[in-house]
Structure 1
Amino acid sequence: MTPALGILLFLATVTAMEGFAYVMHRWVMHGPGWFLHASHHRPRTGRWELNDLYAVIFAIPSIVLLLGGVQLGWWWGSTWIGAGIAAYGAIYFGFHDVIVHRRVATRYLPRSAYMKRIVQAHRLHHVVETRRGTVSFGFLWAPPAETLKAELNRRGNAGVRAATTEVAR
């Protein structure tokens, strides 16, 4: 094992996690896992929401792989994959919870075209408060806002939530 291979495996894992997150968000969280995720599509009344349990659930493979790779003598790649999953979780937390939903106090304003695009895409995702009918399930990649708005209009879901004025920013 060379450090370059480990770093490559780490970066491949972070990249693959976006696909995994998309699938889990679209077909699990907005499917059979809606009983937890629904709390995230409603105004939060306290510091925590049931949806936060997904962070715990998704951290388990990372913890197990890191433990196995570092302490239990598993395949060397286990450590790098576990670290990649953890890194994606940290990126997700920073983007989703800190920047978009401001669950941690911040003065960050997206300035780059990329950051504006993914923040607006996630806000458009929240325009619809139902299990089905929403758009944009990724976290680090999103279609252009115009595409998402057109899809919402096509489905008849535009303006379903009062927060649409926030989306227009």
Structure 2
Amino acid sequence: MEFLIILPVFLIMEGLTWVIHKYVMHGFLWVLHRDHHDHSSENHLERNDYFFVIFAIPAIALMYIGAVQGYNYLFYVGLGITIYGMAYFFVHDIFIHQRIGFLKKTKNPYLLAIRRAHKQHHKHTGKNDGECFGFLWVPVKYFKMYFNKDNK
């Protein structure tokens, strides 16, 4: 039963991520996201990393409230958000940006498409004119690249 809450929340998070990335991170909170694009941070941590805390707060609050109320649906909504956040961290920070060298030489077309789409997103160093704001959903054109041997 809990899975029927967690899975839809996880899937909905992809749409929310697109909206938040395009209109919040590339909008009024660009001041936090900018160093992720222009690499102006001299540390391993970027101001952009504050978004992990910002996005974790509602998930933690939902899980806490849901647990206090007897592990109701709020707990599982928070858990779905948390699982999405963990997936985001693994794919974005570890796989794409290689903060920890992992899967550097993958041949998996889906993973290569995610990496290519994110690279397209980062070719724009300003807050405007961006593309590929999602995370797990990859525009078809990037996915097709890795099945068409002529484009390699």
TM-score by length of 2: 0.87
Query: Which position in structure 2 is the counterpart of 1:160?
Result: none
Q: State whether structure 2 residue 123 is matched by structure 1 residue 127.
A: yes
Structure 2: how far apart are the matches of 1:13 and 1:139? Answer: 15
Query: Which position in structure 2 is the counterpart of 1:161?
Result: none
Q: CA deviation at 1:109?
A: 3.0
Q: Provide structure 1 residue ranges, at least 5 long, that are not aligned to the other structure.
A: 148-167
Query: Which position in structure 1 is the counterpart of 2:45?
Result: 48
Q: State whether structure 2 residue 2 is matched by structure 1 residue 13.
A: no
Q: State whether structure 2 residue 94 is matched by structure 1 residue 94.
A: no
Taking the TM superposition and a 5 Å limit, the aligned residue runs for 1:20-35 are: 20-35=16-31
Q: CA deviation at 1:29?
A: 0.5
Structure 2: how far apart are the matches of 1:75 and 1:137? Answer: 33
Q: CA deviation at 1:111?
A: 2.1
Q: Secondary structure of the residue that 1:129 maps to in structure 2? A: coil
Query: Which position in structure 1 is the counterpart of 2:99?
Result: 103
TM-score by length of 1: 0.79
Taking the TM superposition and a 5 Å limit, the aligned residue runs for 1:53-64 are: 53-64=50-61
CA contact (8 A) 2:95 2:101 kept: no
Structure 1: how far apart are the matches of 2:57 and 2:115? Answer: 27
Q: CA deviation at 1:118?
A: 1.1
Taking the TM superposition and a 5 Å limit, the aligned residue runs for 1:117-156 are: 117-143=113-139, 144-145=141-142
Q: Secondary structure of the residue that 1:22 maps to in structure 2? A: helix
Q: CA deviation at 1:107?
A: 4.3
Structure 2: how far apart are the matches of 1:111 and 1:13? Answer: 30
Q: Secondary structure of the residue that 2:28 maps to in structure 1? A: coil
Opposite residue 23 of structure 1, the aligned amino acid is: V
Query: What is the percent sequence identity of the aligned residues?
Result: 35
Highest relative contact order (Cα 8 Å, sep 6+), 1 or 2? Answer: 2
